[in-house]
Each structure stands twice: as structure tokens, then as C-alpha cells.
Chain A
Amino acid sequence: MIEYNDYQKVYLNINGENRSVIIKPAQTLLDVLRSLGLTGAKKGCENGDCGSCTVLINSYPIKSCLTLALEAVGKQILTIEGLKNSPFQQAFVSHNAFQCGYCTPGFLLVCHSLSIHYPNADDQTIAHWLQSNICRCTCYQEITNAVKCKLKDILQTKKA
């Protein structure tokens, strides 16, 4: 049995790198990521409602504000900083799918995970996944357009 009391050194695999961190059980993954300078995951509601803190753990989106950092030990964490040249990033730019940008990292990670698990996602599945995140600039239509367009591109590339 593994036991963690107070501050302790652990390794977190973040964006493909093993990072040694000294953390205590009460710290959320969001706190730890931001303390490492990975500030792409944002503090929004800190209650699991807004999705601005979304990161991927083992390729699935989770809300890092509702995850203890210790729960992520031994798993693959992907933050927006590690999502280099994702096709969705360019799609968001070309479809004007953001205004203030606060929610954008969370949305991009959800889209990235969607493309891994459901590359043939239908409209209903896309809507179901995107409903996890809130954009207070209300760019929902542009975000949906960007996702649909890019998923179509990815599929066509695969077929070719």
C-alpha cells in the first residue's frame, strides 16, 4: 500500500516528461500544474462546472480542479503546452473560435481527445463532448464549426 503524508517528492509524467515535484495530498492537479508554470489550465469555477482547467489523463479529459495531483501519479498528463501543432489549434484560428481565449485550452484538449476516441463523431457526440466546457464569449457555433471541419479533414487524410 502506498501512503502519502504531508509534502513528499513524486514524479508526474507531464507532456511526455517525468517531472519531479514536491506536493502534499491536499493539492489539486490544477494547483500543481500552474505552480510548474504550466498556466494553460485556467482557474475558473474550481467546482468542475466550467471546464477551463481541463487536461487529459491517459488521453481522456478530466477537470484538474477536481483531481488530486496524487491521483495522476503513474499516468500520462497532457496539458495545452504539450499539444504542439494540434490540427485543432489552427482550426480555432481560422474559424474565429475564440475571443478572450480563457476557455480555449480546455476546449482544445476536449477536441483533441474527441479526435482520438471518436474520429467519426456525429453531431450528437460532438455536442455531448463540447457541453463539458463553457465559453462566456459564446463562441459555441464557431467552436463547433472548427471541430466539425477538422474532424472531416482528419478523416479525409486518413482515407487518402
Chain B
Amino acid sequence: MLPFDFCYYLPRSLSQAGSLFEKLQKNSAKPVFFGGGTELISRGRVGNITFGAAIDVKSIHELRQIKDTGKEIVIGGAVCLREIAESNVFPLLGAVVKRIADNTIQNKITLAGNLLGGIIYREAMLPLLLLDAKVVIYEKNSTKAVGIKDLYLKTPLLNEGQLLVEIRVDKQKTCLPWFHNKVVKSEKIDYPLITLCAVKENSCIKYAVSGLYNHPCIIDKESLKNIDINQVLDDHISSASYRVHILKQQIQNAHKELFS
């Protein structure tokens, strides 16, 4: 049981969810959008966060769809990680989300939850950064599409009251040759020491990494040469210099695999 009371709402449409959020915010009810809820429940239980209203967005059609429009792959924000992996519409993203948390939790964590949550690794972001995904956001009765590269360094990623509806990726790009590897300290289920994703396009490889800094990022040869070791994560999982060493090793592996 969570140690505080709150109201629970189940809106059926984006407009219901949006107007409800605004109304509750005006009434100082501290609303949150609730998808998988794993982070809200676990952090709420230990008193790290409180909220007065949980707006469960899992019944909103737009947030629950996985769609192939012919030109684009569209994945709703409330689609769980297992559904993304099983759908196989975006193989690189499928491979990445299959290594986030464990198989059972993947039935609960949503795409938006991984991208917007408080855990810094946000590994689902890596394929989206590499393929220049668009993020569709709902706010105040309208939706807008924003490039993921314009968003990913923001903290928090979205403003209060904004709802991540879906991500859109060019379908052709999802077929590019790719590489993914997650290196962990010892247990298979753990936060990454380094997670590297790469895609090859026109004989050129693009890399995205999680576990290097306190946010996922794109990395190229130049930035690899100029890594500021003081900015690299240095914690109980690994020293900063070891993370850089593993990153360089993984980049070599990706290069070998994608050019073999």
C-alpha cells in the first residue's frame, strides 16, 4: 500500500486526460499521468514522491497502438516493453527493451515510462536518437511533433501537463543494419555499465550510448576523442575510466560486426 491517499482516474481520450490534468492542477491536487506506474509506486512507497491524483492513460487508444503506416512506425507511449519486443516492428528498439529490467516487469514498464522516468539510463532513447524519431506530445487540446534530439537533454524531458502520445520513426530506417549490446557489472538484470546501439547507413556508423553520462547521447569519433572524464558516471557500478574503456571496446565490436 502506498503511504498516502490519492484519486484514480481512467480517462478514455486525450482530451479527457488533458482537461482533467489542467483542472486538477488548478485545484492543487498534484496530478500525475500514470502509465505502467512502476516508478510512481516504488518511489511512492518509500516516500520519495507523493501525488494527489493518478490519471491512468492506459485506456487511451492513441497511446496503446503499434502501427505501421507504410511510411512510419508508430508506437504509443503506453505500449509496454514486452509488446514492443514481440511486435518486431522496430527490431533494434525490440532488442534494447528486452534488456531493460526483467521479463515480468517488461509487461508493466511503458515506452513513455522508460523515456520520461527518473532513472537516468533511458535505454529506449538510444534507437530513437539514432533514427531521428519524432515524439508526439499532447498539451492543451493540441498535439505537436518534436524531434527527439530537441528533447533528450531537457530535464525533465516534458513539462508538467504534457503527455507523450507516441513516437514516430521512418520505417525505412528501422531496416538499417544495427548493433546492440548491454554490458553490466555482474548480474544479467542490472543497470548498464554501458549500453551501446549503432546503425549503419551509407557505409557510415552512428552510435548512441547509455551509461556514459547521466543521460543517453549520440557519440561520434570526435566526441569519443574528447570525452571529459569528469563528466563520466563514476559510481558503485564502475569507475569513469572503466566505462570509457568498455565503451571503446564496444565501439570496436560494433564496427567489426557491422562491417563483417
Contact = CB atoms under 8 A, between A and B. Distances in A.
Interface of A: 1-6, 24-28, 31, 46-48, 51, 54, 57, 60-63, 65-68, 70-71, 110, 128-129, 131-133
A144 to B, nearest CB: 14
Given A66-B37, A132-B102, 18 more contacts: A1-B10, A3-B8, A28-B2, A47-B42, A48-B101, A51-B102, A57-B107, A60-B82, A61-B103, A61-B104, A61-B107, A63-B104, A63-B105, A68-B41, A110-B103, A110-B104, A128-B98, A131-B188
Per DSSP, are chain B's interface residues mostly helix, strand or loop, or mixed? loop
Interface string B1-16: 1111111111110001
15 contacts: A4-B9, A25-B6, A25-B8, A26-B1, A26-B6, A31-B1, A47-B42, A48-B105, A51-B102, A51-B104, A68-B8, A71-B37, A110-B104, A131-B188, A133-B104
A92 B20 CA distance: 49
Contacts of A67: 37, 41, 108
B119 interface: no
Interface of B: 1-12, 16, 20, 37-38, 41-42, 45, 54, 56, 58, 82, 98, 101-105, 107-108, 188-189
A133 B102 CA distance: 9
A28 to B, nearest CB: 6
A132 to B, nearest CB: 4
B7 A1 contact: no
Nearest to A61: B104
Interface centre among A1, A60, A63, A132 (most CB of B within 10 A): A1
B15 to A, nearest CB: 11
A3 to B, nearest CB: 5
Given A25-B6, A71-B56, A129 B108 contact: no
A21 to B, nearest CB: 14
Contacts of A48: 38, 42, 101, 105
Nearest to A60: B107
Nearest to B9: A3
A24 B5 contact: yes
Interface centre among A3, A31, A68, A110 (most CB of B within 10 A): A68
B16 to A, nearest CB: 5
A66 B41 contact: yes
A128 B108 CA distance: 16
B188 A1 contact: no
B42 A66 contact: yes
A25 B7 contact: yes
B103 A131 contact: yes
Given A67-B37, A71-B37, A131-B103, A1 B6 contact: no
Contacts of A60: 82, 107
A131 B189 contact: yes
A140 to B, nearest CB: 12
A132 B56 CA distance: 25
Contact of A3 (B4, B7, B102, B103): B7
